[in-house]
Amino acid sequence: MKVVIVGGVAGGATAAARIRRLDENAKVTVFERSHYISYANCGLPYYIGEVITDQQDLTLQSPESFNRRFQVDMKVRHEVTAIHPDRKTVSVTNLETGEEFEEPYDKLLLSPGAKPVLPRLTGMDADQLFTLRTVEDTLRIKDYIDTHHPKSVVLAGGGFIGLELAENLRELGIDVTIVQRPKQLMNPFDPDMAALIQAEMRRNGVKLALGHTVEGFVKKENGVDVLLKDQNPIHADMVILAIGVAPDSKLAKDAGLELGIKNSIVVNDKMETSIPDIYAVGDAVQVKHAVTGQDALISLAGPANKQGRIAADNICGRDSHFLGSQGSSVLKVFDLTAASTGINETNARKAGLDVDSVILSPMSHAGYYPDGKVMTMKVVFEKGTYRLLGAQIVGYEGVDKRIDVLATAIHNKMNAIDLKDLDLAYAPPYSSAKDPVNMAGFMIENIQEGILKQWHLSDLEEIRKNPDVNVLDVRTPEEYNAGHIEGFPNIPVDELRDRLGELDPSKPIYVICQSGLRSYIACRILEGNGFDCYNFAGGYRFYDDVTHERQLVEMATDCGMDR
């Protein structure tokens, strides 16, 4: 059997190695147009920031080492220019010599990946403009920084690459501005959770121009002007475009393969395309979202590796199936860790789901053990069924552990209430006897049983307009005086039973505390005394962080500059 693979890196290289492990006699050839057949995409920003100092650490395998281990013919600097399904060949150009030839195949696997989105704007030919996708891109950016010593950079785009680059460039002492059309960073997160990420970026000196559209670039002697719609341009020494990626599917389109979202390659759960004996994997393919069942594009290394293995299995006559992707991800944001899995509340509502969420601020480990850090968790579930839909966590320690537990629960289609029953490891340096994941389950069970009723930040304006409600802050006077929601009177929870006469039991009451725990206790007291009580999801700490960040974004939108 002759197998031709187009593209290395995550999907292609994984498939090549798996095919060899399953079939010692298969003839496998990989064509890769870059110099590198297997490299750490996710590590590229960290080489620019000199966290990874040895260029060789980026390349997981060389063509020579891969061939020695797996007897796979790795052809770097070879570009496949056309597929001929009728005669089962591909056209190939040797980019070093210009030689052109056709290569036959019995099975063909496409792993072309995704390419940076390059908008059609003026000034795109400026020498100071860069994109980041390959090792070669990384080396160009690193060489430019080492040679020209830029003092400022504009990053167009606020996704994974943009944030990782921002951190690494700041560590080099470069002034960084992120320009992003949406009014938030990191679309996998809801705006309220993204606000916590944005605050950390600002704390570390990254300027944010959110809600602004880049309209072009003008090359200057001392750098480049980034032109913004209806705003003054931003000047920088260099610009890196990280607007996003699109499937690199021209080969597939020209060959007549069925295409889907944004011209992605349509495959079934065996990674088979619409043409027999042609498979496709990685960032170029359309997948099913594991939570919604809807078609999706999810450009992450984990799914690409799994797809490469599954395609290899099926090429070798086995029966493997890709179950979909739920977009589990984790990101280092200076001192913070931000992670998500499943779908957020925003996208759940767009998908037509009736959803609710719990927001909690547990410690990373037992409170009595030194150096515990607060994390903020948001767990999204479907009303009525309590189906677990997604989660987002922003914090310092233990974030990755909890998101992986929640990702596993979603994958296994657990009910959100079942989180309370998970038997999770505990010792004071690592967790609490009631782990944060368990706590989310307890809260959702309380909602199901009517013990907990919530109000959210989105409800605040309606509550303020309604004269027929009570509002109450149950923190200490010291906390209250340090900051509170205008119009919310203060009765500390420990004084509440003695001061019930100050409240009108005929009106529903909306309660807040610092994290949500004391206000829940207050609600139980009030419910026990005939009140209809609602607890604020997230607490005042969450309210203050989110509203403060929203004000900064709106101010920047109005005046065209970051504050």
Active-site position among 42, 513, 533, 559: 42
Residue 490 gets which letter from DSSP?
B
3-state secondary structure (DSSP) of residue 252: helix
Q: At 147, which helix (H) or strand (E)?
A: helix 135-148
d(CA 38, CA 282): 14
| Widest CA span in the chain | 90
Q: Which tokens hold the place of 17?
A: 């190695």
Q: Give the pair of three-digit tokens for residue 187.
A: 């679309």
Termini Cα distance of the chain: 62
Q: Which residue has the tokens 């969450």?
A: 542
Strand partners, 30: 5, 74
Tokens at 126, concatenated: 């400026």
User: What does the alpha-carbon distance between residue 420 and residue 484 come to, in Å, rounded to a whole number?
Assistant: 32
For residues 397-416, one letter each, b for 16 or more C-beta atoms within 10 angstroms of the residue's C-beta and e for the rest, the string is: bbbebbbebbbebbbeebbb
How many residues comprise the chain? 563
Which DSSP category does 221 fall into?
Answer: T
User: What count of other Cβ atoms lies within 10 Å of the Cβ of residue 151?
Assistant: 12
CB atoms within 10 A of CB 210: 22
Short-list 522, 542, 507, CA closest to 473: 522
Record the tokens describing residue 351, joined without a space: 């998908």
Please state, in angstroms and rounded to a whole number, the distance separating the CA atoms of residues 547 and 429: 33
Token pair of 394 as six digits: 């922003």
Asked if 136 contacts 59 with a C-beta cutoff of 8 angstroms, the reply is: no
Q: What are the CA-CA distances from residue 135 to residues 36, 96, 180 (Å)? A: 8, 18, 25
For 260-306, the three-class secondary structure string (H helix, E strand, C coil) is CHHHCEECCCCCECCCCCEEECHHHEEEEECCCCCEECCCCHHHHHH
- The HSE-up count of residue 140 (CA atoms within 13 Å, CB side) is 14
Give 207's strand partners.
177
533 is catalytic: no
Residues in CB range of 544: below 8 A, 6 or more apart: 483
Q: Kind and range of the H or E element at 134?
A: none
Of 231, 209, 236, 232, which is closest to residue 220 (Cα–Cα)?
A: 236
Name residues whose C-beta falls within 8 Å of residue 469's C-beta, 6 or more positions apart in sequence: 463, 507, 508, 509, 510
Q: Which two tokens stand for residue 41?
A: 């995409």
Q: List residues with catalytic annotation.
A: 42
